[in-house]
Amino acid sequence: MTARVDPAARDSGEPPSSFCQHCGRRSDPGAIGPIVGLCYCSSCCQYACRWCWAAVDGACPMCAVSFVSVPVARAPRGREVALPSKRVGLPVAIAAGAVLIAVSMFALGDGGRPRPTGGVEGATSVPSDVTSSGLGSPTPPAPSGSPTSCMTVPALVGMSLRDARAAWTAAGFAGSFTPGRGQDAKIVQTQSQTSGACLPATSTIVVTFS
């Protein structure tokens, strides 16, 4: 940021000398490098080096008027402009600090207390596993599988007794097959359970043969 010289100052606009008008120190960039070397007083229109200004704590070394030194970015030939300042009393500074703290606290909401996240829901929501009595209630397990399974009765008519017994067992039935053994080559004529019916696995069946 570049500060402008007070338009009421009697600056001729000419570049200053390379030497301090107060102590005679050489203050051009060739001597002190790329830093501000000379400061201009808008009261007496004189230049003095930064060391002379520092020695009198911000007052003009030439006319003793109090200033705050404001650095000028990229000023030609190391110039720095000093502007008049007003000192702020300690009570005013304390009051300003107190107001800043109060504003910061109320910015948090509810007089400085942090607000819960999620709006109203964040302040009032209850975990899903807590009942109105305040105690957690276990979620009943989902039913697994289906009710008692049934098996489909095979069509046994026309089979040999040997094949009919095997088909009954292969269909998943654990109940008895009558006749239980023998006459393996005989052919089934009728069956007591209707073919295609869905029955418990413990069902039994009786067949006739010839």
Judged against a pLDDT cut of 60, whether residue 96 lies above it is answered with yes
Residue 44 is predicted with a pLDDT of 87
> Out of 10-14, 100-104, 167-171, 197-201, which region has the weakest mean confidence (pLDDT)?
10-14
Neighbouring CB atoms inside 10 A of 156's CB total: 24
Structure-token match 């109320």, residue found: 106
Q: Flag whether 18 is in a domain.
A: no
Q: Flag whether 122 is in a domain.
A: no
φ, ψ at 28 (rounded to 5°)? -85, 160
Q: Flag whether 93 is in a domain.
A: no
Q: Flag whether 11 is in a domain.
A: no
Q: Flag whether 2 is in a domain.
A: no
Domain end residue (candidates: 84, 99, 125): 84
Q: Flag whether 4 is in a domain.
A: no
54-80: pLDDT as tens digits: 887 768 878 888 865 455 455 455 555
Domain carrying residue 48: 29-84
Tokens in use for 62? Answer: 């030439």
Domain count, the chain: 2
CATH number of domain containing 165: 3.30.10.20
Q: What is the mean pLDDT of the chain?
A: 73
Q: Flag whether 104 is in a domain.
A: no
Q: How far apart are CA 146 and CA 149, in angstroms?
A: 7
- pTM flag (> 0.85): no
Of 89, 69, 88, 87, which is closest to residue 79 (Cα–Cα)? Answer: 69
Q: Flag whether 135 is in a domain.
A: no
Residue 137 is predicted with a pLDDT of 54
